[in-house]
Structure 1
């Protein structure tokens, strides 16, 4: 309604009728349009379409990217639980490789008529702020640097706001479920688990590839007396780790470098860790990445890879994550990663699936964003804050529904005589008690 006596356009009703033909069923959540009309189920979350531009975006991008752009731009809002809304929509639209809605030829004209009637036909809307702007060949050095900078150089203050005190930006290991067991506890338990699997002891040399903000680097040096070489492509991460080294007086144990994995040197190392960095290497280069790590590790040395994966029939991250969060990211089924490591000369000794742990981790980060929403918006602006809210809510569901997973893979470089240096008892690799932490 635009005033007394105006004709009600019933935008929501027209969209719902079109959806009934296109998707073969009712809307999965209630819809409220800019004219005040509503349609769809009465219970649960409500999708509020504030501006017809949101529907125009869907004409140009009839997939998750179009919806995400409208949400980031503030053209649509969700009243109620965002996770519940996404779960209902995903249940109605199972994941597919290209995430596009399939429109039958007979419905194209009908959709065009509705689009003209609602005034949503027009030029492609400009994308909202926050999309990655990349040039050059995929996984060239320059482009990889730009990808890392887009995501990880957002703001150290922002990451400090949403992460635990260790600044661990990877899947935690939830050994407890009680109210007194926090994200910080789960992240410390994850770090202790990695160190236990690597068999770290005082005086050993550890290479931390893609060290992030130094959570594993600092833990290994502080609690195991290990000499650590940490590498990252993010200038803000490198600066943060360097400050922590100075604050803790660890200059004799830790070195941090701004370095591409293709330039790694200084082996042989006793142990190597790569925690959620391998997703950024790319499909064609992962074999070379694994071979390089093999060459840097001493015989009978251990490699711990913690890495996100996808199920065989799933696209993995999807268009939204590729566009706004982790451009050029490549995930494969865990079995393919195991095969690539074996081809590089490693012997894979243990694989631990941690998919459910990432559900809890992502939701813990999301809860912090919701609790500190005003601070987040002040730091990075509302469009970026909305990107992260959508990313974490949707990401948690991707792990919950097994479209994505995360695994810890323990491998060794066998010695010339075939010995691995690993204990015969697998239980020796498991976490018993977390190390006492001094953060």
Structure 2
């Protein structure tokens, strides 16, 4: 007997090869047989019913729960196969009304004055430091690496990312730099050591604050790099020469873009320069992915460039350069997932098998967004004066060459203590 889910899969999977073992034991193949076969098994009828009614949420949930089992290929192969085949006309009535309900709820939330930035950040970034140690590079860079050239290792590409950003900041010795979203301190320490600047890093994560302060102390940078638990919205300080924000803007939310850039304008000197590094998507999204919203990044939102620019302009700021990096994060995410799964047993010891599958799905779905949904990284250079940045981009490569010399001499990073 053909189930509703079987009919849906037959309609969706036109190309590729998907082999499904249903709860009643039937094994059915979908697609035209091309490419690598992805094989999966449903543990029970409830799994099939849930996937039919709400696949956008339940695909991740049932995999996380161990009720959807991948027997050939991996979870990235499955989500990529489904995404590459799905068309608008494949949506069922249930998918459509759930989508409409989520859009309505997202709009309602955007109108409410309640903001849970601290709580949302803690949900993800206050996880055990040992978890991130399993898959990040030696400097704990939890943002897109820069694979230029493509042959770089993850650690080398993360150094290249810091070098690229530092070059665009046009740093000079003695300048004061604000880092909005300072993570585990790696970027702030790099800028201080590479250019002789003073860095103030702010974060909403107590765990990141603890680790970053410890790292700065260990490297003898406590007098030049300061980290604080501080919300950018309420920060009061003398204007900075430079502002940098890497991988934090995705947590600001559309309703707060105006506030964010007004605060940047307030905290940036007249001849100052800012570098904003963020994930972007090709058009404004009506609603977030429900699995990522609920389990991974509550309150997050990936902007389109078109949503960001009006807020920059209204704040009286000037966009001096925008660079689009379309493929670097896909490679970064794949390496993170490979490294994470290579240490699966250690991750399960920290949490449990369900948590590990949740994170595997998150990393795979995020990679798929860059390989199949045209997500990208944008680096936006912002200033208050046209004279703050040269009229050509030659200075970026020139400064990167100088910084490469520093990188070759830099004292290796110590293992993070947690």
Quick check: 1:54–1:67 contact (8 Å CA) kept in 2?
no
From 352, 356, 370, the equivalent of 1:399 is 370
Q: Does 2:282 match 1:292? A: no
For residues 35-434 of structure 1, what are the structure 2 equivalents within 5 Å? 35-41=24-30, 44-58=37-51, 61-82=53-74, 83-94=76-87, 101-103=91-93, 140-141=114-115, 143-178=116-151, 181-312=152-283, 317-414=288-385, 419-430=386-397, 431-432=400-401, 434=404
- In structure 2, distance between residues paired with 1:215 and 1:24: 44
* TM-score normalised by structure 2 residue count: 0.86
Quick check: 2:13–2:82 contact (8 Å CA) kept in 1?
no
Segments of 5+ residues of structure 1 without an aligned counterpart are 1-9, 106-134
- In structure 1, distance between residues paired with 2:51 and 2:90: 10
Quick check: 1:139–1:282 contact (8 Å CA) kept in 2?
no
- In structure 1, distance between residues paired with 2:341 and 2:113: 34
Equivalent pairs counted in the alignment come to 388
Segments of 5+ residues of structure 2 without an aligned counterpart are 96-108, 414-418
Quick check: 2:174–2:197 contact (8 Å CA) kept in 1?
yes
- In structure 2, distance between residues paired with 1:24 and 1:386: 24
Deviation of 1:20 after TM superposition, in Å, equals 6.2
Deviation of 1:423 after TM superposition, in Å, equals 2.0
- In structure 2, distance between residues paired with 1:240 and 1:104: 45
Quick check: which has more Rg, 1 or 2?
1
Quick check: 2:284–2:307 contact (8 Å CA) kept in 1?
no
RMSD: 2.6
Deviation of 1:242 after TM superposition, in Å, equals 0.7
Secondary structure, counterpart of 1:162 in structure 2: coil
- In structure 1, distance between residues paired with 2:337 and 2:17: 23
Secondary structure, counterpart of 1:170 in structure 2: coil
Question: CA offsets, 1:269-289, max 9 Å, x none?
Answer: 000011121111111111111
Deviation of 1:245 after TM superposition, in Å, equals 1.3
- Compare 426-435 and 317-326 and name the one that shifted more: 426-435
Q: Per the alignment, do residues 306 and 136 of structure 1 end up closer, same or farther by CA in structure 2, a change over 3 Å counting?
A: closer
Question: CA offsets, 1:309-336, max 9 Å, x none?
Answer: 1112755751111111111112221132
- In structure 1, distance between residues paired with 2:146 and 2:354: 31
